[in-house]
Amino acid sequence: MKVFAINGSPRPDNNTGRALGVMRAELEKNGIETEVFSLGRENIHGCTGCRGCFSAADNFCVITGDSLNSAAEKARAADGLVFAVPTYYAGIAGTMKCFLDRLFYSSSRFFRGKAGASLTVARRAGGVDTIHQLNNYMNLAEMVIAPSHYWASVFGMSPGEIEKDGEGIQTIRRNAGALAWLLKIIDAAKETHPFPAIEERVRTNFIR
C-alpha cells in the first residue's frame, strides 16, 4: 500500500517537511510505502473554472506547463493521500491552494473511498482553520479522513522548532497510525464491502 504526500511549503526542508517526516516514519513503521511531492517554489496557476477537465482525456487539467497533472496521476494511483502545508493568514498557503483547487476539481472522482490525512504548521494561530480547509477537499471527494486525538496543527517558526511541540508531534504520529489502520481496513474489505457506487449528481444551485 502506498501513500502519496504533498508538501505545500515553499521551504520543503523547514517545519512542514519535518512534520511530514514524523507522519512518514510512522506510516513506514506500519508497512505503508510513502512518496513525497514538494511544491516548493514552483509557479502553480490557480483554477480558472473553465471546466476543461470535465471533458479532457482522463479528466486531466487543461492548464499544462506545471507539475499538477503529473502529481494528479500519482495521487490517483495511491491508496492514501496526505496534505501538509504551512498556515499562512489562518489558512492554506497560496501555492498549495492553487494546487488543491485544480487537483480536486480534476481528480475528485478518482479519490472516492481513499483514506487521507492533513497536517499544518503555524507559528501561533490559525492552524485549525487550515486543517478544516484541507479536510473540506477530502470530504467532498468522498475520502475517509484519519482521526487523531487533536487537530494535526504543530507550532513552529524557525527551522526545527516543531520538535519542541511534543503534543503536536504526538498528534501527528497518532494521526499516521490511524491512517495506516484505515488503509489496511479499506484494503481488507475491498472485495466484501466496496465503497458505494458513484451516482449522477443532483445539482440544485441556489437560484429559484
- Chain residues binding ligand FMN by CB under 6 A are 9, 11, 14-16, 86-90, 121-126, 156-157
CB of 39 vs ligand FMN, minimal distance in Å: 11
CB of 113 vs ligand FMN, minimal distance in Å: 30
C-beta of 88 vs 151, nearer to ligand FMN: 88
- Nearest CA to 5 out of 38, 29, 31 is that of 38
C-beta of 156 vs 168, nearer to ligand FMN: 156
CB of 14 vs ligand FMN, minimal distance in Å: 3
C-alpha cell at 111: 479519490
C-beta of 8 vs 80, nearer to ligand FMN: 8
Angle at 81 between CA 76 and CA 87, to 5 degrees: 125
On the 0-12 / 13-18 / 19+ scale of CB atoms within 10 A, 169 is middle
- Nearest CA to 108 out of 143, 151, 160 is that of 143
Torsion sign across C-alpha atoms 24, 167, 13, 72? positive
CB of 88 vs ligand FMN, minimal distance in Å: 4
C-beta of 100 vs 141, nearer to ligand FMN: 100
